[in-house]
Amino acid sequence: MFDELSADDALQRIDEWEQSIARRAEQAKSLAAQTAELTAKVRSRDGLVEVTVGSDGQVQRIDLDERTRQQSAAATSRTIMETLRAANADLLRQFEEVTAATVGAESETGRMLVAGLRRRLEPSSKDDVS
């Protein structure tokens, strides 16, 4: 049924698949390790608010300068939300860079992961402060 050349070709193709799967698994492992360590820290333009977010966009820390006491709570709230959005944008940028360097920005995996994080980081209307 198979001649010797066909069997050799089939075995080579199987070996190549195995190597490809192992390479992709290593890339995914590297991506997971690197992205788990990502954080983004952003200070507001006026320097009154600093927000740090973790690898999934969760707020890790908010620091307020004492001068925030001299402005309205609404102004401080807006500044916090603007700074949070900037921190999330920086986190997404970092995630895109790590993804490009590991699994490839244009790979199906890369596009899917970046899109997933982007969805999680998008502000919803309930997060907006008036």
Q: To the nearest whole number, what is the mean pLDDT of the chain? A: 89
CB count in 10 Å sphere of residue 104? 13
- Say whether pLDDT at 54 is over 90: yes
Burial 27-39 (b: 16+ CB within 10 A, else e): beeebeebbeebe
Query: Residue 4 — very low, low, confident or very high, per pLDDT cuts 50/70/90?
Result: low
CA separation for the pair 109, 17 (Å, rounded): 17
CA separation for the pair 36, 96 (Å, rounded): 13
CA separation for the pair 49, 57 (Å, rounded): 17
- Say whether pLDDT at 80 is over 50: yes
User: By percentage, how much of the chain surpasses pLDDT 70?
Assistant: 90
Number of domains forming the structure of the chain: 1
- Say whether pLDDT at 104 is over 50: yes
Q: Which two tokens stand for residue 38?
A: 């990502």
Structural domain including 68 reads 4-127
Q: Where are the alpha helices (DSSP H) in the chain?
A: 4-36, 73-102, 108-121
CATH value at residue 107: 3.30.1310.10
Q: What is the pLDDT of residue 97?
A: 96
The whole-model pTM stands at 0.79
